[in-house]
Amino acid sequence: MWKESSLDEPRESEEGSYIPLEIESWGENPEEACLQSDLQRVLSEVIQKLDPKSRTIFTLRDVEKFSIEETAKLLSLSIPVVKTRLLRSRLKLREELTKYFGKDARNAMPTRHR
């Protein structure tokens, strides 16, 4: 059975002192939401700085999660070309992100081949 309680009803502890009613928020933490929004904005800006071919490869591979082989086939490129452009894209993004976040951004994006 569902028990209803008034939010305004005072509650007292065994000692007689007032206990505030705690209501858990299931919403997003405002600070985390703001940081997430800022990060999304910065990432979008940095990705837009890539040349169109590199941006396409990066988006297909690291955002859309296509494999190297799938990306190469979709773009009619060889696998080595996709790998080379992806590596260059990641390095460029890491360089740009370092401008925003300092040296901590260096480890933000792996550059090894997958």
Query: What pLDDT, on the 0 to 100 scale, is given for residue 114?
Result: 43
Q: How confident is the model at residue 34 (pLDDT cuts 50, 70, 90)?
A: confident
pLDDT digits (tens, 9 = 90+) for 73-113: 999 999 999 999 999 999 999 998 888 777 665 555 555 54
d(CA 14, CA 61): 60
Q: How confident is the model at residue 58 (pLDDT cuts 50, 70, 90)?
A: very high
Unique residue bearing structure tokens 């260059």: 88
Angle of helix 30-48 relative to helix 79-101, nearest 10 degrees, comes to 130
Residue 17 has pLDDT above 70, yes or no: yes
Residue 50 is given by DSSP the state S
Residue 62 has pLDDT above 80, yes or no: yes
28: Cα within 13 Å, side-chain hemisphere: 8
pLDDT digits (tens, 9 = 90+) for 90-99: 999 999 888 8
pTM of full prediction above 0.75: no
Query: What pLDDT, on the 0 to 100 scale, is given for residue 11?
Result: 73
d(CA 30, CA 83): 39
Residue 50 CA, distance from chain mean position: 18
Q: What percent of the chain has pLDDT over 70?
A: 82
Mean pLDDT across 21-49? 81
Contacts 24+ apart (CB under 8 A), 55-58: 55/89, 57/82, 57/85, 57/86, 57/89, 58/86, 58/89, 58/90, 58/93
